[in-house]
Amino acid sequence: MQLTRRGFFKATALAFAGSMAFELSTQSEALAAPVDANWKLVNTEEYTNICCYCSGGCGSIVSVRDGEVINVEGDPDHPINEGCLCPKGAAMFQLRNVVDDETGEIIHNPERKTTPMVRRPGASDWEEISWEEAIEGIARRVKDTRDETFVETENGITVNYTPAIGSLGGSQQNSEEEYLILKMMRSLGVVAIDNQARV
Ligand code: SF4
């Protein structure tokens, strides 16, 4: 078929108009379509959270349906990771849920620890303890270590410090939390104080 230059432009314009009309009708159908009950986000709630693994403090979005976690992904609005998660953070979902080897179903992770655990001196096994016991045990050890190593004077000068305890803050702590940690450490006589953010 021979097309004049004018005929070519006319044919092109008609084809373009036809495709636009099809596109618009498809879009209006999509807008008018009822919500698909099987749509993967139906009946889900989203909660923002922080990755629990390293001190990077990446933000995540946890999707929940009927009280159960169904997805964890990076939070694109979080200033630290802007939606990314490293492989460790991306595997956070498996802290709570795993795929059952036999049935292929998603089940609660039977290995998940929900209480503090301790391996006492000389023991080969871990045992579960209460939060109260864990906190009291840590406080007792910090106080005992500080008291046993406290130096009041050196060369006749008052120094009041312990060389036996150090404090390394994490990047997940904000300025106010770091301020409180600093105050607490100084009150114990700790001088080896640093933060991951500085490093
Ligand atoms: S996602 Fe990775 S880098 Fe980010 S906080 Fe978690 S472990 Fe750290």
CA of 24 to the centre of ligand 1 (A): 43
- Mutate-to-test residue for ligand 1 from 50, 51, 94, highest number of ligand atoms within 8 A of CB: 51
What pLDDT, in 10s, does the model give residues 113-123?
Answer: 999 999 999 99
> Domains plus CATH for the chain?
45-108 (3.30.200.210), 114-147 (no CATH), 150-199 (no CATH)
Claim: this prediction has a pTM higher than 0.85:
no
* pLDDT-above-90 percentage for the chain: 61
What pLDDT, in 10s, does the model give residues 8-41?
Answer: 556 555 555 555 555 555 555 555 666 677 777 7
Question: Are 189 and 160 contacting, i.e. CB atoms less than 8 angstroms apart?
Answer: yes
CA of 81 to the centre of ligand 1 (A): 9
Residue of the CA atom closest to atom 1 of ligand 1: 89
Q: Enumerate residues lining ligand 1, CB below 6 A.
A: 51, 53-54, 56-58, 81, 85-86, 88-89
DSSP letters of 48-78? EEE-SSSTT--EEEEEEETTEEEEEEE-TT-
